[in-house]
Amino acid sequence: MPSSVPLRSRLADTRRSRLALRARELASGWAAGSHRADRKGSGVEFAGHRAYTPGDDLRHLDRHALLRHKQLLIREFFTDTERGLHLVVDVTSSMHYRGRDESKASAERETKAERALLLAAALAHVGREAGDHLGLSWISDGARKTQKPKGGAEAFEHIMHELVSLDQDLSTRAPTEKKSEQEGGGANFEDLFRELGSAIPRGTIVVVLSDLLDLDRAQIRSLSALCTRKRTVRAAQILTPEEVEFPFDGALRFLDLESGREVETDGGQVKTDYIERLEAYTADIRKQLLAQGGQLIRARTDEDPKDTLRHLASGAASER
Amino acid sequence: MTFLIPLALLIAAFAVFPLLAHALRRGRASPHHFPATRFVPSRTTTARQRHRLEDRWLLLLRILLLACLALLAATPFVKCSRLSLGRTDGASVAAALVIDDSASMRAKTAGGSTRLEAALEGARQLLGTARSGDSFSIVLAGHPARVHTSTTTELGSVRDALDTIRATDRKTDIASALDLARSLQEEVPQSDRPIVLLSDLSIPEASSLDLEGVILPEAGLRSPMENCALVSAVMSPDAVQTEITCTSENAIKGRKLQLFDTRGTAIGSAVAAQDGAVRLPLARKDKKAGDKKAGAKKESPNMDALEVRLTTSDVDDIEDDDRCVVIDSPAALSVGIRADQGTAGVKTGAGTVLQAAVEALDRGVRVQSLSLLPEDPRELEPLSALLIDDPSGFVPEVREAVTTWTEQGGVGLVLLGPAIARAPLGSDFAPFLRSSPSWKATTSSGADPSQAGALGPLTTGWVDLGARHRATWAEDDAQTLARWDDGSPLVSERALGRGLLLTVSLPSSVDESDLALRPAFLELLDYAISQSAIRRGARATPVGERWGVDPTATVTGPDGSELAKQPFAATEGTSTGYSDFVEPELAGRYTITHADEEATSRVAMRDLSEHVTQPSQTLGSPRDEKRAQGMARVGISREIALLTLVLGAIELAFRMLARTRRRSPLREGIS
């Protein structure tokens, strides 16, 4: 690269290519055809019989069944078809938490938002390979953006560009900027989910990549409401090991990253209570999603992202 | 506690900074950003309590650290019981340790150890603060004073020498010991030459000691004692005459005397002990046995092996002086009698009343009549007792001779009579009396048994003496053995050196009184002669007195150990006729076995004053008080420095522990 290119731009390109490379590497092995659509039609895999109705294609009329049962039966097949995949990425302040990973250098640690962007990019690759229509929504403190699912390479490139931009934005943000955003206003998930409920088409798979730590009951209801119109919601709760295990001890004063709430406590004494509260909260979301046909998985930042991607992608494939 | 640099204590004012710092940070823990804060239960009280607790410990540690640093800078000294070798100019020191190993040093201190042990411990403490180049010498102040260790810089050998010093029954001889120490100090090259005297100063003449430049650390040696000691026990035909000396009535209260034979069997009945002379009567068969023993003793010296014991008491500070061997009446005692045949002669025969009385005692003593009182001590040398009847006074030469002779163990008895009214110019009655007596008419009929001293019930025979006149004198420090019924002294007793002086206020003349006609008079004479046997007898000498022995003889002490023989100096050897000598340092019976297997025994006797003289608290001559106080000041900078280090380490560990416990991943987790 010529030396006249500004350093920031070079770093941005490097980062873009890194995210893209990691996402493509992560998504490799996932191809079209491996995902079965939920529509039956002119595919190759036999799906069963049904009674003939006028207007059916006579090519699918089962002659053997007519001779055997003297009934007009139509043979049905599963068909591989394009389906919308909408990615919802949470980049609010709570997603900037990096956690503590003593085995790695500080610069190599991954924030929850970075993990969410990586998974989103990888899923976008998987969706493009499957020929799905791709859509993207992201939400930050006081801002959000939605791109409705579209097919084609242009939509994929647009989504990748958006994800890389968010990634760059994360890397250039300073803690003070985060604070000012906090003060500027919180993320409104309820509005986002309502907007998506009317904007994204029927049958779309909605993948939510968030820590889901700050949802109130109304927001959880609006999330599960996305499951209407044959849509499926796959939520990945991305947490750091510290948030799952609470390895703190001694006198501590915690400050909530989004609400600014302050709690003084004793780490060793409240560990069990904390874990119980977190699990109860997560179980409540999972229960509501399951009731609507959705799914919630937990993704830890210290786990291999491939596992999370496998869970999300296989889940999505099973829905087709 | 004193300080070399007191101003440095101002550093302690910096303790206000940790106080401020703790006050500022004490309230709350530092905040940690955490996304899941909404699930964290609040435990405000517990968290703050722990924080406060940790804060308090840290605060205390830091204040202590600062206080220690301030102390360290101020260079503290504490006054303690440990002695240290002070240095006047920082150079090496040549110290002479004068250690009193006399019998009084056997007394127990408040700490439970004996005074000698406390003195040796003090000496070891001084040695412990010595540096390379310092030299020490040890002089022992038990009579006779002697150099135990010559000046040496080998501190190890001095320490070893201290371990060989044992308790003795010697009397105190501090003056000679100090002279010896001074002579040793003259030869050392160091300019700083302290003489450290470790003694209880239990001597009557402590105020006359020359303590110029002598360091006299207290070291717990000079606390008063309560004690009773058996000074002597002399066999008479039907009793054992014992002499007991006590510091107070409390020390003798409830105690008894018992007589034991060699095998430890009680052969004499126990009688109540009292301060002074006590007669321990022998049972008839015991008497016979005693006689037999006495008779056999001439054949075998080991027959005389009786022992008198004083029962134990809770208030007795010296236990080793509660037993005493019984010595038999000496066969070769010589008693000098100076009496006027005209005034004190026996009407019915030749000789004087005194001569007749002494012969009536049948103690086998040799009586020597003196026409004049000797003016040369050498003329008194053969005598063990001197009885003087109705003297008109003593001229200075006689006084000097009698004083010298008495100090060497002689026992004098003077019976005052009308001649005192004719005392010539320049004469008085010293050393018997310190004031001049007078011969006066008396209305008193005789002695008062209820006021009897050491003579006790014997004085009942003197209730009616029929005296028209008597001698009177001002009472001084002499002990009164018997009193007239109007309270005036009838018989008094004064110890002088190793000897004893008795004064009676009536003469022996039967014209003046019936004194000599009563049995108590014989008892009085018996007492005087017994004392002379003890104090000057050929076979009983004071502890520490050298005995000339043949080079081939072996001397076994009362504890069964063999005494080491030492060669006489050339001059001494010619005067005694022996080439070697032993120096008995324990009271008791010693057996001398000669080359021809013949064995003789000798007795070493205690000095009376050692066991009852209280430590002197006031001293006449000035001594090195400032340095003595300095010896008890010990620098504790090293200890404080160690404490500071320990506190620093604890503070560091505390902080690391607190940091580990408070360490939060949240702060590191925020990018």
ipTM of predicted complex: 0.79
Q: Residue B442, CB half-sphere, CA atoms under 13 Å: how many?
A: 28
- Max mean pLDDT among A210-219, A273-282, B338-347, B476-485 falls in A273-282
User: Most distant CA pair in chain B: distance in Å?
Assistant: 137
Number of other residues whose CB lies within 10 A of the CB of residue B198? 26
List residues of B whose CB lies inside 8 A of any A CB: 28-44, 46-48, 50-51, 658, 661-666, 668-671
Task: Report the C-alpha gap between A96 and A110 in whole angstroms.
Answer: 9
Q: Among B509, B506, B511, which residue's Cα sits nearest to residue B490? A: B506
Phi, psi of A299 (to 5 degrees): -120, 120
CA B651-B656-B660 angle, to 5 degrees, is 150
HEC string for B371-423? CCCCCCHHHHCCCCEEEEECCCCECHHHHHHHHHHHHCCCEEEEECCHHHHHC
B chain contacts of residue A277, beta-carbon cutoff 8 Å: 39, 41
Cβ distance of A252 and B33 shorter than 8 Å: no
B260/B39 Cα distance (integer angstroms): 95
Beta bridge partners, A49, equal A75
**Optimal mutation site among A182, A240, A265, interface B, most CBs of chain B within 10 A:** A265
Q: Rounded distance, CA B104 to CA B227, Å?
A: 10
Q: Indicate the SS3 state at residue A160.
A: helix
Identify the three-state secondary structure at position B28.
coil
Residue A95: list chain B partners with CB under 8 A: 35
B57-83 b/e with 16+ CB inside 10 Å = b?
Answer: ebbebbbbbbbbbbbbbbbbbeeeebb
Distance between CA B506 and CA B435 in Å, rounded? 17
Residues in chain A with CB shorter than 8 Å from the CB of B35 are 93-95, 97, 112, 211, 213, 243, 256-258
- DSSP 8-state symbol, B95: E
Residue B29 to residue A106, Cβ atoms within 8 A: no
Can you give the pLDDT at residue B661?
Answer: 63
Lay out the sheet containing B266-272: strands in order across. Answer: B266-272, B256-260, B307-310, B323-325
Q: How far apart are CA B498 and CA B143, in angstroms?
A: 12
Q: A178, A111 in Cβ contact below 8 A? A: no
CB–CB of A91/A137 below 8 Å?
Answer: no
Cβ distance B33 to A261 less than 8 Å, yes or no, reads no
Q: What's this model's pTM, rounded to 2 decimal places?
A: 0.44
Q: B589 near B302, Cβ under 8 Å?
A: no
pLDDT, one tens digit per residue, over A107-145 is 566 889 999 999 999 999 888 887 888 999 999 887 889
Is residue A299 classed as helix, strand or coil in its secondary structure?
strand
Task: Check B34 against A254: CB less than 8 A apart.
Answer: yes
Mutate to test the interface with B, among A103, A238, A248, A278 (most CBs of B within 10 A): A248
Torsion over CA of B454, B457, B461 and B462, rounded to 10 degrees? 40
Under a CB-based contact definition with an 8 Å cutoff, are residues B254 and B214 in contact? no
Which residue from B minimizes the CA distance to A108? B671
Residue B252 CA: distances (Å) to CA of B227, B249, B388, B624: 8, 6, 34, 38
Q: In the prediction, which pLDDT does B537 show?
A: 59
Which residue is associated with the tokens 């090496």? B92
Phi and psi for A287 in degrees, rounded to 5? -65, -45
Cβ-defined contact of B28 to A270 (cutoff 8 Å): no
Read off the pLDDT of residues A30-63 as tens digits, 9 standing for 90 and up. Answer: 544 445 544 555 556 777 888 888 888 888 888 8
Contact A316, A35 (CB under 8 A): yes
CB pair distance less than 8 Å for B39 and A278: yes
Please report residues of A whose CB lies closer than 8 A to that of B46.
266, 269
- How far is residue B295's CA from residue B293's CA, in Å, rounded to a whole number? 5
B-chain CB neighbours of A266 within 8 Å are 43, 46-47, 50
The amino acid at B593: T
Nearest CA in chain A to B54: A251
- Provide the greatest CA pair distance for chain A: 82
Q: Which of A105-114, A190-199, A251-260, A277-286 has the lowest mean pLDDT?
A: A105-114
Please judge whether B32 and A253 are an interchain contact, meaning their C-beta atoms are less than 8 angstroms apart. yes
How many other β-carbons are positioned within 10 Å of the β-carbon of residue A103?
Answer: 7
Extract the tokens encoding A153. 């390479």
Interface test with B, best of A167, A177, A266, A298 (most B CBs within 10 A): A266
- Which amino acid is residue A162, in one-letter code? E
- Write out residues in chain B with pLDDT < 70, as ranges: 1, 22-30, 44-55, 78-82, 85-90, 237, 269, 283-304, 328-332, 347, 363-364, 451-458, 498, 534-540, 569-578, 618-635, 661-671
B38, A111: Cβ pair inside 8 Å? no
Residues A128, A136: Cα–Cα separation, whole Å: 13
Q: Could you please report the per-residue DSSP string of A231-260?
A: -EEEEEEEE-HHHHH----SEEEEE-TTT-
Q: What is the pLDDT of residues A166-190, one digit of tens each?
A: 888 877 664 434 443 334 445 688 8
| Nearest partner of B403 among B531, B496, B535, B502, judged by Cα | B496
**CA B657 – CA B636 distance, rounded (Å):** 31
Per-residue pLDDT reduced to its tens digit, B256-294:
888 888 777 777 767 777 777 788 877 644 444 444 443
- A314: Cβ contacts below 8 Å, ≥ 6 apart: none
Q: In chain A, what residues touch B663 (CB-CB under 8 Å)?
A: 250
Residue type, A93: S
Cα distance between residue A292 and residue B590, in whole Å:
119
For helices A7-27 and A305-319, give the axis angle rounded to 10 degrees: 60
CA separation for the pair A112, A305 (Å, rounded)? 12
How far is A85 from chain B, CA to nearest CA, in Å? 28
Q: Which residue has the higher pLDDT, B618 or A284?
A: A284
Cβ atoms B99, B139 nearer than 8 A: yes
Count chain A–chain B contacts defined by CB atoms under 8 A: 134
Residues of A in contact with B34 (CB under 8 A): 97, 242-243, 254-257
Inter-chain residue contact B31 with A253, CB threshold 8 Å: yes
Contact A269 B46 (CB under 8 A): yes
Token code pair at residue B604: 């070493």
Query: Hey, of B32, B38, B663, which one would you mutate to test binding to chain A, going by the most A CBs within 10 A of its CB?
Result: B38
B28 CB neighbours in chain A (<8 A) are 253, 264
User: Are B47 and A263 an interchain contact pair (Cβ–Cβ within 8 Å)?
Assistant: no
pLDDT given for residue B532 in this prediction: 80
Tell me whether the omega of the peptide bond preceding residue A54 falls within 30 degrees of 0, making it cis. Answer: no
Taking the C-alpha atoms of residue B517 and residue B508, their distance in angstroms, rounded to an integer, is 9
With beta carbons less than 8 A apart as the criterion, state whether A133 and A149 touch: yes
Task: Name A300's bridge partners.
Answer: A239
Point out the residue among B33, B43, B668 whose CB comes nearest to the CB of A270: B43
Which positions ≥6 away from B383 have C-beta within 8 Å?
Answer: B334, B335, B336, B368, B405, B410
The Cα of B49 is separated from the nearest Cα of chain A by a number of Å equal to 9
Nearest Cβ partner of B43 from A261, A266, A277? A266
Give yes or no for a contact between A243 and A278, defined as CB atoms under 8 angstroms apart: yes
Interface contact B671-A175, CB threshold 8 A? yes
Min Cα–Cα distance to chain A from B57, Å: 16
Would you say the C-alpha torsion B153, B154, B157, B159 has a positive or negative sign? positive
**A contact test, residue of B666, B667, B668 with most A CBs within 10 A:** B666
**Are B668 and A270 an interchain contact pair (Cβ–Cβ within 8 Å)?**
no
* Smallest Cα distance from A229 to chain B, Å: 33
Positive or negative CA dihedral for B406, B547, B366, B259?
positive
DSSP code at position B600: E
Subunit contact A242:B666, Cβ cutoff 8 A: yes
Instruction: Using alpha carbons, list the distances in angstroms from residue B68 to B3, B8, B71, B652.
Output: 13, 11, 5, 16
> A115: which residues sit within 8 A by CB, 6+ positions away?
A238, A299, A301, A305
Can you tell me the distance from the alpha carbon of B75 to that of B88, in angstroms, rounded to the nearest whole number? 18
- Spatial separation of the C-alpha atoms in residues B561 and B557, rounded to whole Å: 5
